[in-house]
Amino acid sequence: MANVVVVGSQWGDEGKGKIVDWLSNRADVVARFQGGHNAGHTLVVDGTTYKLSLLPSGIVRGGKLSIIGNGVVLDPWAFLDEVKRIKAQGVTIDAESLQISESAALILPIHSELDGIRENRADGVKIGTTKRGIGPAYEDKVARRAIRVCDLADPKHLQARVENLLHHHNALRRGLGKPESDAGELTQKLLDVAPHILPFMAPVWHTLDEASRAEKRILFEGAQGTMLDIDHGTYPFVTSSNTIAGQAAAGTGMGPGSLNYVLGITKAYTTRVGEGPFPTELFDDVGQRLGERGHEFGTVTGRKRRCGWFDAVMVKQAIITGGITGIALTKLDVLDGLPELKICVGYRLDGKIIKRLPAGAANQAAVEPIYETMEGWQGSTRGARSWADLPAEAVKYVRRVEELIGCPVSMVSTSPEREDVILMRDPFKAS
């Protein structure tokens, strides 16, 4: 049995929650490896909707171990709020079902406040963050001044670590005209929350190694999407972590040899939340229709998603940088009833045709999509669970996507319901 990494191949919001939930039925362990509570996964299980941000999607299934890896930044108060909310829906969450890496960095109130200050600059420049402190927390981690989960277990030295952190942050706050943060007050907040976090603390790298040696199936769950990767995305309009599959190893403590199959979750059209370039964005009735039929609103922020045609150039680039083995094509049913469909097969930049998204922000904003037009279908794909259930034009569309991105479609999702999936290849059984 293979271990599987799930990543988004676009700008996030591709439907990873449902696919991870579907795969978690076949997994023994589900591990988050990057991001924070800026992520949002919506699961629909037997008519019940679960909205997750920090918790791995496997938590809603009994008998699975869920892990929050060292690559995740954890807001302890947001975590406890989410646990309380999901528990109220009848889900068991305890130290037997969930572990948090002892070396995961914490998101503190000063981080989210700084995030908001930066995003509301007077000059109007925005990145499009969720203002949840993700970026500032990763900055502190890289600068080696972060407070980590394991620090909560060391009250004797905690205030000294907080004072070291605030040496930097209070200088920033003074420069921004904000009052300084009090070290004693912040330390007390951490001491108060510590008893609720520490029961989940564990050396998750060791837990995962033992699971691997016992030949248990591990599902690595990514957040956001490849084009939001700090290195490979549409910089600077990206998240603050690496979102590609390679981060599954670094963000959990597993070696890269443990990553056997990479499943790229890919929406049958394209969406984006927030600022940044979007070559295939639609501003017409078709774009409005995709948003309405696809219920395109952010799980975390509620922000309306921008919608556009499928961008095969961008997805092919994501497949290369992410080492994607196969894709799960989601929301095919949203395209039902459109008389024609368009797929971006190249870009035009300064009069030249290119087959990649350039690195520079100005060039990314300037590219014009080159489209290939295909016939749409009038029949319904919603709820289909086999190829025979799909209109012929829908099958042609899926096959053309495969050709253009150079990667096989392993799964097709045809509704938000867990079991409405057409399976061509089970990732856990891949050699």
Residue numbers annotated as active site = 13, 41
CA distances from 133 to 116, 258, 314 (A): 8, 31, 28
- Tokens for 14, please give them: 């591709």
What's at 357, amino acid-wise?
A: L
The DSSP code for 387 is: G
Q: What are phi and psi of 66, to 5 degrees?
A: -105, 140
Helix (H, G, I), strand (E, B) or coil at 48: strand
35: left (phi over 0), alpha (psi -120 to 50) or beta: left
Closest CA to 94 of 105, 104, 85, 83: 83
* Closest by Cα among 354, 226, 347, 349 to 280: 347
Q: Going by C-beta distance under 8 Å and a sequence separation of 6 or more, which residues neighbour residue 206?
A: 253
Instruction: Classify 100 as helix, strand or coil.
Output: strand
CA distance 232 to 243: 9
Nearest to 72 by CA among 194, 250, 227: 250
CA dihedral 254, 258, 261, 263 (to 10 degrees): -10
Assign 262 to helix, strand or coil: strand
- Round to whole Å and give the CA distance between 265 and 254: 22
Spatial contact of 269 and 315, defined as CB atoms under 8 Å apart:
no
DSSP-based helix, strand, coil % in the chain, nearest 5: 35, 20, 40
Q: Which residue has the tokens 């037009």?
A: 373
Residue 1 CA to chain centroid, in angstroms? 25
* Amino acid type, 167: H
